[in-house]
Structure 1
Amino acid sequence: MDELTHFRNEIDQFMEFHPQSPLDETQRENFDGLAYFEPNTALDLIVPVEQFASTEPMIEMETSTGDVRPYRRWGRITFEVNGEPASLTIYSDIYGQEFFLPFRDATSGKETYGAGRYLDNHRPGLADLGNGRFKIDFNYSYNPYCAYQSIYSCPLPPRENWLTVPIRAGEKNFAQGPAH
């Protein structure tokens, strides 16, 4: 898990020092790193994906501020968490190049941000391996910016991506964030 530790350290540095960090001055002054679950190798998966037809219509995903953002339902993954079945829909941009996996789980609102967490292909946790397979590493799941400041407009996971199982991997609640 050296790569994961390095990645988390880089994120902490970004959050504390980068001018584009979502944290305000007070949050930065009190920042002592993000809280994470211990690395969980059982939630680092390579799974088959059932790709939807390219004619799948765009959907409007509601955001935390009441706006909507367009996404295409790209494909469905099925996996197990502690012996329990689970499935999630992967979304894409209009071109099918940018992948986005928003989800809520049994930890949402308790151990993790209530509105859900994300994986995307701009970070190491989500990758199209080709041949109908995806790498899904929930250890890289992260809070959207609205977990830190309510001024951000963040897509909310659609109901089809609300899991009943706990995903105890990745980022936990941000103690200094707004209540949701």
Structure 2
Amino acid sequence: MFSVFTSCAQEKRAIKGETEFQKEMNADYKDASKSPLKDKDRKNFKGLDFFKFDSTYVVKAVLKRTPNSKWFNMKTTTSRVSKERVYGILHFELNGNSFNLEIYQGKDLMKKEGYENYLFLPFLDETNGLESYGGGRYIDARIPEGNTMEIDFNKAYNPYCAYNDKYSCPIVPRKNYLKTRVEAGVKAFGKH
């Protein structure tokens, strides 16, 4: 008797994404050990929807540090609060208009190895609730050497709460609302 063994039915599909950031996110969301997705969503996961990469949404910002800012309790989607402080105000131009956003530093996170210089940039814009998640999006950043920072809105991602209500996610402060459409980064989950 002769048998032919073929590889498992589970083929390795190429990770979708047009940029390194998009490929990394899709790989993480596919990986059960890292993914915020519910099991049923991860089973059929082919990749997140992103706006097309657009260099218009990579902006140089001037960082005005706020060294004596007080720690405050940033509300989250649960009863948990996140101890944050305004690290500084970012001033930048986007779509021909001037904007500013507060960028935050987390008290607990700055004590965690590898996150000592981590900054958190949550924002809302005019795509929320339409093409992007209604609760706003986040960008990760690091404390810069000087007083300028690059903000790459193409790296904007949804809070884990957008995928699974078991997470507790910081709520974007209203003052970080951009009165413009930011057509960059991750789109809303499950809308096609």
- Measured against the shorter chain, the TM-score band is 0.7 to 0.9
**CA separation in 1, counterparts of 2:59 and 2:143?**
12
Residue of 34, 46, 51 corresponding to 1:37: 51
**CA separation in 2, counterparts of 1:93 and 1:4?**
31
Match of 2:188 in 1: 173
Match of 1:59 in 2: 72
Aligned counterparts, 1:85-100, within 5 A: 85-94=98-107, 97-100=117-120
Aligned counterparts, 1:112-123, within 5 A: 112-121=132-141
**CA separation in 1, counterparts of 2:161 and 2:101?**
22
RCO higher in 1 or 2 (8 Å CA, sep ≥ 6)? 1
Residue of 177, 180, 191 corresponding to 1:162: 177
| CA-CA distance at 1:66 after TM superposition | 3.4
Paired-residue identity, % = 37
**CA separation in 2, counterparts of 1:120 and 1:25?**
26
Post-superposition CA distance 1:139-163 (Å, at most 9, x none):
0010110000011000011111111
**CA separation in 2, counterparts of 1:46 and 1:21?**
31
Aligned counterparts, 1:91-170, within 5 A: 91-94=104-107, 97-121=117-141, 127-170=142-185
**Is the radius of gyration larger for structure 1 or structure 2?**
2
Whether contact under 8 Å (1:86, 1:165) holds in the other structure is no
Gaps in structure 1 of 5+ consecutive residues: 122-126
Instruction: Quote the RMSD (CA, aligned, Å).
Output: 1.8
TM-score by length of 1: 0.86
Gaps in structure 2 of 5+ consecutive residues: 1-16, 111-115
**CA separation in 2, counterparts of 1:83 and 1:6?**
28
Whether contact under 8 Å (1:4, 1:140) holds in the other structure is no
